[in-house]
Amino acid sequence: MPRPEHIHPALWRGSQLATRASACLPAGHAALAAELPGGGWPLGSLTELLPERHGVGEIRLLRPALAAVPAHRRIVLLSPPYAPHLACWHHWRLDPAQLLWLHPAHDRDALWAAEQVLRNGQCGALLAWHDPVPLPALRRLHLAAQGSDMLFVLMRPPSTAAQASVAPLRVALAPARGGVAVTLLKRRGPPCARTLHIPLDNRLPGLDTLFPHVPLDQPAPAPAHAGRLPHALAQ
């Protein structure tokens, strides 16, 4: 009998790690890549990161993927808990000129903005911080992501781990000495029984005490007006 993946690349056995027909961005860490379906962060799909608290290393974990976003495509930060700190982005060889910071005033506007960014198709990555997200809204976002070739990562609190989610990939993060502890809560494949320790770049003196937040100081973000994309995004 032929293997499922030989019948169609979207098929896989529950006992085996799925391989993706669509593209991924690099995980940047061999131990993590070995546990992610396709060996990297998926494009065209909803991925959830559940950090124990803001700034445990979520941006540094995604740095290899963000560095792979083509220079002409924007990296959108939607409702981050802190202002982007450009010194950190420079240090990690990420171009701050790619950043587009959106901070809508209302939850409904944030969900609307996320969907519009995904459907617009001109950006390379969307990192969004939002909770709560109703399950129907999650479905809409995942559907919009599937029609794109973007990296879409939704940051949610660890308390949501017990809630149902349509995200094919859910990853919990906790602080660890020299890096971050990664637990794969959900993936296309068998459960990952071990917690991964991923070392992260922490060479800036006093980085975690000087910037105890997501290393995301730019002028006020572009307003997300309902009914249209911000002008900067619509270019």
Top pLDDT among 4 and 181 is at 181
Split at pLDDT 50, 70, 90, the class of 89 is: confident
Distance CA 130, CA 127 (A): 10
Fold classified for 41-169+179-192: Rossmann fold (3.40.50)
Q: How do residues 162-220 score in pLDDT, each as one tens digit?
A: 999 999 999 999 999 999 999 999 998 888 989 999 998 765 544 444 444 445 433 44
| % of residues, the chain, pLDDT over 70 | 76
**Omega cis (within 30) before 132:** yes
Q: What pLDDT is attached to residue 10?
A: 53
pTM of this structure: 0.80
On whether the CB atoms of residues 160 and 52 are closer than 8 A, the answer is no
Residue 73 pLDDT > 80, yes or no?
A: yes
